[in-house]
Amino acid sequence: MREIEVKARVSSFDSMKEKIDHVLGSEGIRIEKDDRYFKFPADAVQRVRIRRFSDHLEMTSKKTGEKDGLEDNEEYEISYSISDYEESVKLLKNLGLEDFFTKHKEGYEWHKDGIHFELFNVNDIGSFLELEAILPFDSDEKANEEERSRILSYISIFGLGKEDIETRSYREMILSREGRMTTSIDAYTDGGCSGNPGPGGWAFVVVSNGVELTHSSGGMKYTTNNQMELTAVINLLRYLKENRINKARIHTDSQYVKNGITNWIFSWKKNGWRTSDGKSVKNRELWETLSSLSSSLDVSWVWVKGHAGDEFNELCDSLCRKEMEVLR
């Protein structure tokens, strides 16, 4: 199944519950969830989650993604008896997995119009409102966009804004608090447009030990290839800063980005943002933003040949093309 989900921070748990009860026209149902995550020793990302409810267990394998601040995930899930908990843990450990982290969620849930609403206190990191829609694996982008729009409309109805949306996973927030967040990763970026100028897309993929941690993408109706390449890297760097990842090796198939940030930008700044022939540097605002973000991080830059079979470069390219298709 495909899961489209957003979570937002809530300042007052009780006030938000009253508001949701009123808007949805029903009292929330009390629930608790205990999650235990497992990974392989070389991984920096979870592989399996066992979720314990009062009367049953769920075992889930999830591939996470992100688009426009909303999670866009693929999930494989089975449900079975609560009495099998210890045996399930033994099975995973016999397969070579180890404990990663745990999470306790306590609060209320509602269902309306195909959307699952949950209001939780999570560990000691705060209160969150979660909205989730489930779609088939083969749902098209139009259907996905419609669900994203519906979910975001409820965020507004409940009096929350974009600034309240939390793009980090609970795992990232919990591990960051405990000082166990990944500090060094590989990342891939790409950007392009149809027509140059024309509708464009950007994307980045974050990788640790050869395993995808997350990805994100977006687009603009009228832009250029170079603007999208820069935008991809800028959004990646913002993600790194927000998640306290201070060291990264960034792979790009754009010589414009690679040469610009490692070589040309020093001359541009020295010459008052003018090129060697005295012309104004194109996309200066984006370059200034990129320079500012990268200056506080330990970043190395790697050029990769595009369309040459690199798994994560190809994934970035595919995400960009999907964004362009939506805007055409």
Same domain as 207, residue 168: no
- Kindly give, in sequence order, each residue whose CB lies less than 8 Å from that of residue 325, ignoring residues fewer than 6 positions away: 141
Q: Residue 39 — φ and ψ, nearest 5°?
A: -145, 165
- Kindly give, in sequence order, each residue whose CB lies less than 8 Å from that of residue 316, ignoring residues fewer than 6 positions away: 188, 189, 190, 203, 204, 205, 215, 232
DSSP annotation string for 77-88: EEEEEGGGHHHH
Same domain as 191, residue 72: no
Q: 253 an active-site residue?
A: yes
pTM confidence score:
0.55
Q: 229 an active-site residue?
A: yes
Using only the alpha carbons of the chain, give its radius of gyration: 22
Q: Give the per-residue pLDDT at 220.
A: 94
Same domain as 167, residue 102: yes
Q: Which of 229, 251, 260, 323 is catalytic?
A: 229
Q: Which of 35, 72, 132, 253 is catalytic?
A: 253
The widest CA-to-CA distance across the chain, in whole angstroms, is: 74
Q: Which of 186, 190, 218, 251 is catalytic?
A: 190
- Rounded to whole angstroms, the Cα distance separating 319 from 295 reads 27
Distances (CA, A) of 81 to 50, 54, 75: 12, 10, 20
Q: Give the per-residue pLDDT at 158.
A: 95
- Which residues of the chain fall below pLDDT 70? 1, 42-45, 62-75, 137, 139, 175-184
Same domain as 112, residue 168: yes
pLDDT in tens, 166-202: 877 787 777 666 655 555 689 999 999 998 999 999 9
Same domain as 171, residue 188: no
Neighbours of 69 (CB within 10 A): 17
Pairing of strands 29-39, 115-122: unpaired
Q: Give the per-residue pLDDT at 43.
A: 64
CATH number of the domain residue 259 falls in: 3.30.420.10
The structure tokens 């754009």 sit at: 254
Same domain as 58, residue 126: yes
Q: How many structural domains compose the chain?
A: 2
- Rounded to whole angstroms, the Cα distance separating 118 from 115 reads 10
Domain termination site, one of 177, 201, 235: 177
What amino acid is encoded at 222 in this protein? Y
Give which of 207, 267, 261 is closest to 229, Cα–Cα.
261
Distances (CA, A) of 96 to 48, 71, 86, 93, 235: 12, 28, 16, 5, 35
Q: Give the per-residue pLDDT at 177.
A: 66
- Rounded to whole angstroms, the Cα distance separating 154 from 313 reads 35
Q: Which of 65, 191, 201, 260 is catalytic?
A: 191
Q: 84 an active-site residue?
A: no
Q: Give the per-residue pLDDT at 73.
A: 59
Q: Which of 87, 113, 179, 307 is catalytic?
A: 307
Cross-strand partners of 208: 211
Same domain as 189, residue 44: no
Same domain as 289, residue 145: no
Contact present, 186 and 152 (Cβ < 8 Å): no
Domain termination site, one of 161, 177, 193: 177
Same domain as 251, residue 304: yes
Tokens found for residue 200: 């464009």
> 92-118: buried (b, 16+ CB within 10 Å) or exposed (e) per residue?
beeeebeebbebebebbbbeeeebebb
CA angle 43, 183, 262 (to 5 degrees): 115
Same domain as 286, residue 150: no
Domain termination site, one of 177, 193, 208: 177
Which domain, by its residues, includes 230?
A: 184-327
Q: 191 an active-site residue?
A: yes
